[in-house]
């Protein structure tokens, strides 16, 4: 195995304790960066849904408070809740479209109840992450993320012209254009440290340009108290679900689970940028991050504000500053929670004109759409995956814009369920994936204990399977070799700590086109097999007896994917018939 490359950019690892001044300075910088997006997402949702100013003020207060508390929890870690890393928490842009729909159709109390119920599914996903791998595949997840952006864009574009009557015609396009140009320009060509400030600088210059036109109203800022809590504006919870609740619930659950998948990505990435010496991904950290996400959504629902999620800005901040100490995460959370009790600070953000906020959200949604594309493409595209992604995306877009049988849906449950493009597109994608699973060649299964007799049993199983599908001797030998080397790699890992029972291994095999798909499911806590394969790109400084197995596996397998869950390893291997 190649020697691990030291990341000299990391100044403080998670367990390090930087001096108080450094921790306070880094924490204050990060808090300033995310106050605006936390509040702005709430503001734009409330404005689009025509909600009263009092609810907007309450939503901003609750969002800051929940974001602060969950950021502290991510860093400090309590049992299985929390990642133990600096993961910034804030309002989720993925929920904009369905929260607007819930507010318009059913009101804030029903929206709050929907968020509370859907948050429970995030805890379930964290506990049973491996069981959902066949449902939320990369093609389904990526398509849903693209649909989230597609369903929100029409709403945001309408907001670009939302200015008071009598305002000069040039006010909205000029303010939005300056904001967009500054944010995009800094993202494209700005130095790394300045890129983090692109949203704040773009919004500030946009507001400066809008001031002469009179669309930046400073009166609410002047009237807002310095200290206070708007308790009287809390809308409560709807405890008697109606058709609107049940029609919107699937959409909230789907977006919650998709948001959880984004959190998984952040949970993996923050581990890589927070340590000097790279380590295999610890999915217990990821599960802790997911559980905190669930706590954030639960608190967001109880306080009737926008749902919570991790911010990918966390990774950029760690890379730029080199500070991954959890002490800094606690400082950030304390600052966010404290700011919630100063309404005048939130009023500055609330006063931002809608066209400027819409221009900023446009950049975020554009990046979100591309992220969805990357997830689909990186998983590999064949005609089946292309069909699932393409059909699901356009079905969702068609329902969202009422292009598909608008008169047949009526105004009942189906109208609420399918009228949201993200929901209808996700349902379409899941149905197609289920169809592919049900009509795929039958999987042959081998379940055994990983003992001295396991390898011969695996060899017999793969040989018989190859004979059943008509493979010749060279192809059969290659399949058996890949299976044996995958088994050897898993068997060489350390068993789960504290588990006295023997490890079990389930092997599934099925024909797929001109090749065979193998899936190995085992309880293990060792190193990631995919990481080990990538290490072979460099010459090994320290001999590793497993290197021969890794090289053989990489040479004979078409692809290898290793997914590590809490106590469970899933290795998927593809073997082509032709050498």
Task: Return the bridge partners of 573, or none.
Answer: 518, 560
Say if 13 falls within a structural domain: no
* 126 and 36 in a common domain: yes
**Long-range pairs for 5-9: beta carbons < 8 A, 24 or more residues apart:** 5/278, 6/276, 6/277, 7/273, 7/275, 7/276, 7/277, 7/278, 8/276, 9/319, 9/322
519 closest CA partner among 482, 556, 550, 565: 482
* Range(s) of the domain holding residue 510: 440-576
Measured between alpha carbons, how far apart are the two ends of the chain, in Å?
Answer: 26
pLDDT of residue 536: 38
| 294 belongs to a structural domain | yes
**Could you tell me if 200 and 273 lie in one domain?**
yes
**CB neighbours of 89 closer than 8 A, spacing ≥ 6?**
66, 67, 70, 71, 74, 292, 293, 296, 308, 309, 310, 311, 333
CA distance 202 to 187: 11
Positions in the chain whose pLDDT score sits under 70: 1-9, 129-136, 192-193, 195-196, 261, 265, 268-269, 278-283, 313, 316-317, 319-321, 368, 378-379, 408-420, 493-501, 523-555, 564-567, 579
Please report, for the domain that includes residue 452, its CATH number.
Answer: 3.30.565.10
- What is residue 2's predicted lDDT score, i.e. its pLDDT? 41
112 and 235 Cβ atoms separated by less than 8 Å = yes
pLDDT computed for residue 115 by the predictor: 93
Q: What is the tens place of the pLDDT at every residue in 18-55?
A: 888 888 877 887 787 778 778 888 888 888 888 888 88
Are residue 344 and residue 306 in the same domain, yes or no? Answer: yes
Q: Dihedrals φ, ψ of 453, to 5°? A: -90, -5
Same structural domain, 490 and 362 = no
Structure-token pair, residue 149:
């952006």
Q: How many domains does the chain have?
A: 2
In a domain, 403, yes or no: yes
Task: Say whether both 325 and 446 belong to one domain.
Answer: no
Assess whether 332 and 458 both reside in one domain: no
Which pLDDT belongs to residue 129? 63
């Amino acid at each position: 195995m190649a020697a691990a490359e030291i990341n000299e950019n990391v100044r403080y690892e998670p367990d390090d304790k930087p001096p108080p001044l450094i921790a306070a300075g880094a924490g204050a910088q990060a808090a300033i960066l995310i106050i605006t997006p936390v509040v702005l997402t709430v503001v734009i949702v409330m404005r689009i849904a025509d909600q009263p100013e009092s609810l907007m003020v309450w939503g901003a207060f609750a969002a800051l408070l929940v974001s602060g508390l969950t950021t502290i929890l991510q860093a400090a870690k309590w049992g299985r809740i929390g990642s133990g890393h600096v993961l910034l928490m804030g309002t989720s842009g993925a929920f904009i479209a369905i929260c607007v729909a819930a507010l318009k159709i059913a009101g804030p109390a029903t929206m709050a109840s929907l968020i509370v119920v859907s948050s429970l599914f995030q805890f379930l996903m964290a506990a049973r992450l491996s069981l959902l791998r066949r449902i939320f595949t990369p093609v389904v997840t990526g398509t849903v993320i693209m649909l989230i952006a597609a369903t929100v864009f029409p709403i945001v574009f309408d907001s670009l012209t939302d200015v008071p009557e009598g305002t000069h015609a040039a006010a909205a396009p000029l303010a939005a254009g300056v904001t967009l140009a500054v944010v995009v320009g800094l993202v494209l060509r700005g130095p790394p440290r300045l890129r983090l400030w692109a949203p704040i600088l773009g919004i500030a210059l946009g507001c400066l340009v809008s001031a002469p036109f009179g669309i930046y109203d400073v009166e609410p800022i002047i009237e807002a108290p310095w200290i206070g809590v708007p308790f009287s504006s809390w809308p409560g919870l709807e405890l008697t679900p109606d058709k609107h609740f049940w029609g919107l619930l699937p959409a909230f659950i789907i977006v919650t689970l998709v948001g959880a998948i984004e959190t998984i990505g952040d949970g993996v990435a923050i581990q890589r940028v927070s340590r000097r010496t790279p380590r295999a991904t610890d999915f217990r950290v990821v599960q802790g991050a997911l559980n905190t996400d669930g706590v954030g959504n639960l608190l967001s629902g109880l306080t009737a504000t926008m749902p919570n999620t991790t911010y990918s800005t966390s990774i950029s901040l760690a890379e730029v500053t080199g500070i991954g100490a959890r002490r800094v995460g606690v400082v950030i959370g304390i600052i966010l929670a404290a700011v919630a009790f100063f309404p005048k600070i939130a009023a500055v953000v609330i006063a931002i004109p809608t066209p400027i906020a819409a221009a900023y959200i446009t950049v975020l949604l554009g990046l979100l759409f591309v992220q969805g594309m990357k997830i689909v493409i990186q998983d590999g595209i064949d005609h089946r995956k292309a069909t699932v992604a393409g059909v699901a995306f356009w079905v969702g877009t068609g329902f969202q814009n009422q292009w598909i049988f608008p008169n047949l849906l009526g105004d009942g449950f189906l109208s609420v369920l399918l009228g949201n493009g993200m929901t209808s597109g996700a349902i379409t994608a899941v149905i197609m994936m289920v169809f592919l699973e049900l009509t795929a060649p039958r999987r042959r299964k081998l379940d055994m204990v990983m003992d001295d007799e396991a390898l011969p049993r695996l060899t017999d199983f793969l040989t018989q399977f190859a004979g059943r599908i008509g493979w010749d001797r060279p192809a059969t030998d290659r399949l058996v070799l890949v299976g044996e080397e995958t088994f050897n790699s898993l068997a060489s890992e350390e068993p789960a700590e504290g588990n006295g029972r023997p490890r079990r291994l389930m092997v599934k095999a099925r024909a797929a086109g001109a090749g065979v798909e193998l899936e190995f499911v085992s309880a293990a806590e060792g190193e990631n097999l995919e990481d080990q394969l990538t290490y072979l790109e460099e010459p090994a400084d320290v001999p590793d007896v497993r290197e021969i197995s890794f090289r053989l596996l990489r040479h004979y397998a078409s692809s290898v994917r290793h997914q590590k869950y809490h106590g469970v390893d899933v290795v998927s291997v593809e073997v082509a018939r032709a050498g």
